[in-house]
Amino acid sequence: MDQVEIFKALSNKTRLQILNWLKEPELSFPAQEVYGFADGVCVGQIQLKTGLTQSTVSEYLSTLQRAGLVTATRKGQWTYYKRNDEAFAALSKIIETEI
């Protein structure tokens, strides 16, 4: 777990908001409820909620994925993102012991 990458990823307000939405996706993305959340949330739904361009949202999600904070699942032409709760547990331990 690269601590620098993690803290860089967390340094952006929109990326933090995306992580917050992914914590309880059923509350934040009701339009996707029909399809379920087993694979995560479709990047298109995240893009609609942020109001940003798809390229910006994709870059934000790539940053979060490189930091290990989200996982991605590709299904056909769609990519779905989920929070990596194991990474947050490890981050919590790092903060407890190092800071």
Full-model pTM: 0.89
The pLDDT tens digits for 4-60 are 889 999 999 999 999 999 999 999 999 888 888 999 999 999 999 999 999 999 999
Its CATH architecture, for the domain 3-88, is Orthogonal Bundle (1.10)
Instruction: Write out the two tokens for 73.
Output: 């699942």
Contact predicate 64/72, CB 8 Å: no
Q: Where are the domains of the chain?
A: 3-88
